[in-house]
Amino acid sequence: MVDFSLWDIVRNLLLALRWTVALSLIAFVGGGLVGLALLVARLSKLPGAAPAVALYVQIFQGTPLLMQLFLTYFGLSMLGIDTSALFAASVCLTLYASAYFTEIWRGCVLSIPRGQWEAASSLAMNFREQLRYIILPQATRMAIAPTVGFLIQIIKGTALASVIGFVEITKAGQMIANATYEPFLVYGCVGLMYFALCFPLSVWSRRLERKLNPLR
Amino acid sequence: MTTTPKTIPLVDIRGLRKRYGTNEVLKGIDLQIERREVVCIIGKSGSGKSTLLRCINGLEEFQEGALTVHGQPLKIHDPHAMRELRQNVGMIFQSFNLFPHLTVGQNVMLAPMLVKALPKPEARQRAEKLLARVGLAEKFDYRPDQLSGGQQQRVAIARALAMDPEVLLCDEVTSALDPELVGEVLQVVEDLAGQGMTLVLVTHEMNFARKVSDRVVFMHQGKVHEMGPPEALFSRPQTPELQQFLSAL
Amino acid sequence: MSLDFLVVLAQWPMLLKGLALTVLLTAIAAPVGSGLGIACAWARLHGPSWLRVLVGSYVELIRNTPFIIQLFFIFFGLPALGVKLSAETASILAMVLNLGAYACEIVRAGIESTPPGQIEAAKSLALNRWQIFFRVVLPPSLARVWPALVSQIIIVMLGSAVCGQISTEEISYAANLISSRTFRSMESYILVTLVYLGFAVLLRQTLNWAGPRFIFGR
């Protein structure tokens, strides 16, 4: 019977934590880019964009992330793409994040008074210029706090990638718990590590909210 | 000649001082209010009139002095004592403060049922009678936001009366109303005065004060500056501050 | 690449059984979790400072860790302390604790936005602290935050999909089972996902109808 020290457990978890962070960043950046594209498409009133994006958002916000992961994983292999768990999880979490980001940012843009758009267009700016120089700078300021806040949701979402086999910290925790027969200790450590990642972001997000949105 | 014992004033304020931080807003108030008296408190904003009123039912805490209602000293940190006090002292607010999630009738019935443990049918009867008294019997099942400001304020009066208070405090009860709605509320207050209710009103309605009150108190910078029957105070103001106040109206 | 839904639909008894358990889990967790949230909100606003710290720690712990870890900790970890729970009980407990933490913050925001005049009026009518909280402050507060609370309940309902991982026989577990039996993974998951979507819509409409009717009267 091999005896595992606490350090053995923690060390292995920390190694897996790298993958949690990596997947989170992929989804954050990827989701941000896709979300921004969707936002611009919606705002520029491309024909059919608004209802399509609305449906897209409704699907990702109205269904379990776990189902989305399964569908991506099995869907990709059905399309003939030989896929690793990491790839499938990255694709799924990117799209998941993009749906939430586009909604969050749309809310920020909508809360900018109509008068700003009108003033900009009265100055003969075209849509792209209005967006780039007047609207987005203001909306960005308001969007920082909730965007940081959603990063926390992404980090927590990566835990579900374990179910399709990706070895991040939750999966590593399961494997270690089974090997050591110490589920209380192991899952406790996993929880604390997620907490260590997410709590500082929570605090920062709240501070940003107070600083950048004092009117709220 | 037999000396009849002097009746204890209903509200007895002596040497009341109140500070907000370092700013003293009430600088030693002495005021006695007798049963069945109607007292109007007037003055510029910032003179401390609303603050004084809110001290009487414990919504504001004072640092020095004594305040006695119906013989009982006010003990703001004793919830039991405050509950007793507030059954005897009712308040009507400038912004009505009706409960938005209850109907008009439920607003009036709530406190008697919860505080006086009145059974529902009796509470309902009382509410119906009081709403009729303020002229709103038919609005029993309406929600507050379906009523005009004047109607809401009259409901607020009925709600306060449902607790059978001995004295009613009115804090600028018409200040938030459109001018054409002021009259209906003042009429109700005048009726209450005529029926012998003890009233303490903070008001800007000088004509009303002149007509209805037994005594007018002019407050200035946290003190009772002048006090007297309305005729005397309004026609022959003694101090320059009151003269200035009345001329600016 | 052909999708054959009929094979999967033939398993409708299993799907129905799974859906029933999902509905049951939600039906228990939603009111109990919301009630816990209301109690915690009150504690954070009016409780003694030790209680505030305790509740604050609970809220931060839940909100900064994934639900699946909370579930695993309760189901796999607690037996080490002698507390052995069935999969269903562990699922309900995890959902209640999860919803409670989020509901606490939602309800707290609602309570804090109560206009002070309401409380003054209630005090002037001699209502005591509990009467003021339950009869005057809470109903309009819940009305104000109802959309946010409903959204959170739906999030927890969707999150319950994870409970299938500890063999709770709710609908995602049924999906896994049907998928492995029929080898029709895409169809199984598409179908179950549509069921979740439908239930989410239904749940939102039901709660939006029930709230004004039963809880905050408008």
Query: pLDDT tier at C217 (50, 70, 90 boundaries)?
Result: low
Contact A183 C80 (CB under 8 A): yes
- Beta-strand relationship, B215-220 and B167-171: unpaired
| Cα of B40 to nearest chain C Cα, Å | 20
| Cα of A100 to nearest chain C Cα, Å | 13
Query: Domain extents for chain C?
Result: 5-215
Q: Chain C, 125-164: which have a CB under 8 Å from a chain B CB? A: 125-129, 131, 135-136, 139-140, 143
Distance set, CA A27 to CA A155, A172, B144, C164 (Å): 9, 20, 50, 25
Give the closest of B93, B99, B163 to C126, CB-based: B163
Q: Would you state the pLDDT for residue C178?
A: 93
In a domain, B2, yes or no: no
Tens digits of residue pLDDT in B70-128: 888 999 899 889 999 999 999 999 999 999 999 999 999 999 999 999 999 999 999 99
- Beta-strand relationship, B215-220 and B38-43: parallel
d(CA A85, CA A164): 6
Tens digits of residue pLDDT in C7-50: 888 899 999 999 999 999 999 999 999 999 999 999 999 999 99
Query: Domain extents for chain A?
Result: 6-211
Distance from CA of residue B3 to its chain's centroid?
A: 32
Residue appearing with tokens 């939750």: A170
Give the closest of B79, B90, B143 to C124, CB-based: B90
Better-predicted residue by pLDDT, A6 or C151:
C151
Q: Work out the percent of chain A whose per-residue pLDDT is above 70.
A: 96
Distance from CA of residue B230 to its chain's centroid?
A: 18
| Cα of A34 to nearest chain C Cα, Å | 23
The tally of domains found in chain B comes to: 1
Q: Work out the percent of chain C whose per-residue pLDDT is above 70.
A: 99
Q: Would you state the pLDDT for residue B38?
A: 96
Tens digits of residue pLDDT in A67-126: 999 999 999 988 888 789 999 999 999 999 999 999 999 999 888 888 888 888 888 888
Does residue A75 belong to the interface with chain C, where contact is any CB pair within 8 Å? yes
In a domain, B4, yes or no: no
Q: Would you state the pLDDT for residue B187?
A: 94
CB A41: neighbour CB atoms within 10 A?
A: 16
Q: Are the C-beta atoms of B37 and B198 separated by less than 8 Å?
A: yes
Contact C124 B57 (CB under 8 A): yes
pLDDT higher than 80, residue B43 = yes
| Cα of C114 to nearest chain B Cα, Å | 11
The reported pTM is 0.87
Give residues with Cβ within 8 angstroms of B76, minimum separation 6. Answer: B58, B61, B82
Q: Would you state the pLDDT for residue C53?
A: 97
Kindly provide the ipTM of the predicted complex, given to two decimals: 0.92
Out of 1.20.1730.10, 1.10.10.60, 1.10.3720.10, 3.30.70.920, the CATH code matching C5-215 is: 1.10.3720.10
Q: Which residues of A165-191 are buried (b: 16+ CB within 10 A; e: fewer)?
A: ebbbbbbbbbebbeebebbebbbbbbb
Q: Would you state the pLDDT for residue B6?
A: 59
Q: Are the C-beta atoms of C53 and C209 separated by less than 8 Å?
A: no
Q: Would you state the pLDDT for residue A200?
A: 96
Give residues with Cβ within 8 angstroms of C12, minimum separation 6. Answer: none
d(CA A146, CA A206): 9
Q: Which range of residues forms the domain containing residue B156?
A: 11-247
- Give me the sign of the Cα torsion angle A28, A33, A34, A36: positive
Structure tokens at C58: 């609970």
pLDDT higher than 80, residue B3 = no
Does residue C100 belong to the interface with chain B, where contact is any CB pair within 8 Å? no
The residue in chain C having the minimum alpha-carbon distance to the alpha carbon of residue A76 is C186
Q: Which CATH superfamily is domain A6-211 in?
A: MetI-like (1.10.3720.10)
Does residue C64 belong to the interface with chain A, where contact is any CB pair within 8 Å? yes
pLDDT higher than 80, residue A49 = yes
Q: Would you state the pLDDT for residue A150?
A: 95
d(CA C76, CA C98): 17
Taking contacts as CB-CB distances below 8 angstroms, the residues of chain A near C185 are 70, 74
d(CA B50, CA C119): 17
- Closest by CA to C65, choosing from A155, B99, A204, is A155
- B&C contacts, CB < 8 Å: 70
SS3 B23: strand
Q: Would you state the pLDDT for residue B23?
A: 92
d(CA B155, CA A103): 44
pLDDT higher than 70, residue A214 = no
Contact C124 B160 (CB under 8 A): yes
**What values do phi and psi take at B28, rounded to 5?**
90, 80
Does residue B155 belong to the interface with chain C, where contact is any CB pair within 8 Å? no
Tens digits of residue pLDDT in A126-161: 888 888 888 888 888 889 989 999 999 999 999 999
Does residue B176 belong to the interface with chain C, where contact is any CB pair within 8 Å? no
Q: Would you state the pLDDT for residue C95?
A: 98
Q: What is the mean pLDDT of chain A?
A: 90
Does residue A156 belong to the interface with chain C, where contact is any CB pair within 8 Å? yes
| Cα of C26 to nearest chain B Cα, Å | 28
CA atoms within 13 Å, Cβ hemisphere of B20: 7
Q: Which chains reach chain A with 3 or more Cβ–Cβ distances below 8 angstroms?
A: C
The residue in chain B having the minimum alpha-carbon distance to the alpha carbon of residue C135 is B110
Tens digits of residue pLDDT in C180-194: 998 888 999 999 999
In a domain, B5, yes or no: no
The residue in chain C having the minimum alpha-carbon distance to the alpha carbon of residue B81 is C126
pLDDT higher than 50, residue A216 = no
In a domain, B198, yes or no: yes
Give the closest of A75, A182, A187 to C72, CB-based: A187
Q: Are the C-beta atoms of A77 and A14 separated by less than 8 Å?
A: no
Rg of chain C in Å (alpha carbons): 20
Tens digits of residue pLDDT in C48-103: 999 999 999 999 999 999 999 999 999 999 998 889 999 999 999 999 999 999 99
Does residue C66 belong to the interface with chain A, where contact is any CB pair within 8 Å? yes
Contact B143 C218 (CB under 8 A): yes
Give the closest of B98, B114, B159 to C135, CB-based: B114
d(CA A76, CA A71): 8
Q: Which among C76, C84, C155, C162 is the top mutation candidate for probing chain A, defined by the most A β-carbons within 10 Å of its own β-carbon?
A: C76
d(CA C73, CA C94): 9
Q: Which among A20, A63, A81 is the top mutation candidate for probing chain C, defined by the most C β-carbons within 10 Å of its own β-carbon?
A: A63
Query: pLDDT tier at A1 (50, 70, 90 boundaries)?
Result: very low
Give the closest of A62, A64, A202 to C63, CB-based: A202
pLDDT higher than 90, residue B224 = yes
